[in-house]
Structure 1
């Protein structure tokens, strides 16, 4: 068995006396690519905030890399990409290289100069997301999909072993989304980064991810993507609380 990177045990979270998460148990192994799905208001973002140490569950325990989250200090091992629109002022006068290098701040400190090795890491992160020829371009001149790639490069520049993405394709066109998922597959398979992707895009992800976790206050399903595809439509509708038809895609890569 591979080393578990995330262990969530009996986690409960209540907000304003309302149970948002109830008895959540999930183990995510190193090298997995997990699609975290569920309807709006199902607790997905709350679970992410608990994982990132931003919220503390009232009950239960979360471990990252074998350590309880209270004792965990190696945050450079964890990269996070939020929905772009909420997190960045695209009028900010910075090049792609500068935006990506800002991901080294936690490692280097705010006013440390980058060594040649650091600059090489930035170049490699930009190449990994397919933006090599845009390194000197102002971030505001890029398309929405390209900006999201730059934010992913910023998240992976410190060589994290876990990358968490919160609905990164909101507002991005279909073709860009397809390319985007292929890039995530590359980060997972070729660079060995464990990924958690929060998404509404249930059908599109099933041939990209290795596992699916479906949350709607409770954990309704957690298994590999093939098992998820075999679920009946009415079982899915029970999870979501409304009718849902999962469109699955061609599995030839």
Structure 2
């Protein structure tokens, strides 16, 4: 596989806060079109790694390449979409419809005060439809459930057609009965729209059924390989990665 087919590449990355080592010697490659699940216990460095990938933190050692370009030289940030955990800072009383929230995802591409062309308006509708929220297109964002709001935030992230979509525990706040449908939607985005996905999650049982690759992080990268290989690990091996006993539950379909 040549470098052009690697969306994200991390080489020998280490990061520390003051004297505390959070990440040590991380090496990771994410091929184009893959769906990577990033798992690990609380405090394992997952959020720190995401911040490094998004250029918000600078590692002490190592290099990050985005689409073959060192992050220090990377300018095409519109190629990357990001969805955080349910935006607790988001004011659900803000008077904006689903359409308006998703359309705001084009701001970085078009500028703050540009009017949307017919093509861009259609892109907004397509993004809303892709996450199954078209029936709510004119609904106020504050009237939606937590899971529906997360779908809208994902539509906002994909409206500019990113090549890589990073999701930080997007099922936080999603009703447990709708989590499977949520993962099905991500699977559709990956398979049918060809978006490369990087998903941070605690839900090991579900992701091994949906993702193509898994990376298990706990300061070090303890596992990085195909989902089928990860699914074959026993509880003892997983417990060694996590530092405590772990039992994986499978979800019924």
Is TM-score (shorter-chain normalized) higher than 0.5? Answer: yes
Residue of 246, 249, 252 corresponding to 2:248: 246
Residue of 156, 159, 162 corresponding to 1:160: 162
- Per the alignment, residue 214 of structure 1 pairs with 216
Secondary structure of 1:7's aligned partner: strand
Q: Does the 8 Å CA contact 1:229/1:248 hold for their aligned counterparts? A: no
Shift of 1:176: 1.2
**Aligned partners of 2:143 and 2:178: how far apart in 1?**
16
- Per the alignment, residue 40 of structure 1 pairs with 42
Q: Does the 8 Å CA contact 1:181/1:208 hold for their aligned counterparts? A: yes
Show structure 2 runs of 5+ residues with no match: none
Residue of 143, 157, 161 corresponding to 2:145: 143
Alpha-carbon RMSD across the aligned residues, in angstroms, is 1.1
Shift of 1:228: 0.2
- Per the alignment, residue 33 of structure 2 pairs with 31
Q: Structure 1 residue 231 and structure 2 residue 233: aligned?
A: yes
Shift of 1:90: 1.0
Judge which range, 55-64 or 168-177, deviates more.
Answer: 168-177
**Aligned partners of 2:51 and 2:65: how far apart in 1?**
14
Distance 1:87 1:194, change over 3 A: farther
Residue of 113, 132, 135 corresponding to 1:133: 135
Q: Structure 1 residue 10 and structure 2 residue 12: aligned?
A: yes
Secondary structure of 2:135's aligned partner: helix
- Per the alignment, residue 72 of structure 1 pairs with 74
Q: Does the 8 Å CA contact 2:86/2:173 hold for their aligned counterparts? A: no
Moved over 3 A (4+): none
Q: Cα deviation per residue 1:195-220 (whole Å; 9 max; x = unaligned)?
A: 00000111111100001000000000
Q: Does the 8 Å CA contact 2:66/2:74 hold for their aligned counterparts? A: yes
- Per the alignment, residue 57 of structure 1 pairs with 59
TM-score by length of structure 1 reads: 0.97
Secondary structure of 1:86's aligned partner: coil
**Aligned partners of 2:88 and 2:65: how far apart in 1?**
28
Q: Does the 8 Å CA contact 1:210/1:224 hold for their aligned counterparts? A: yes
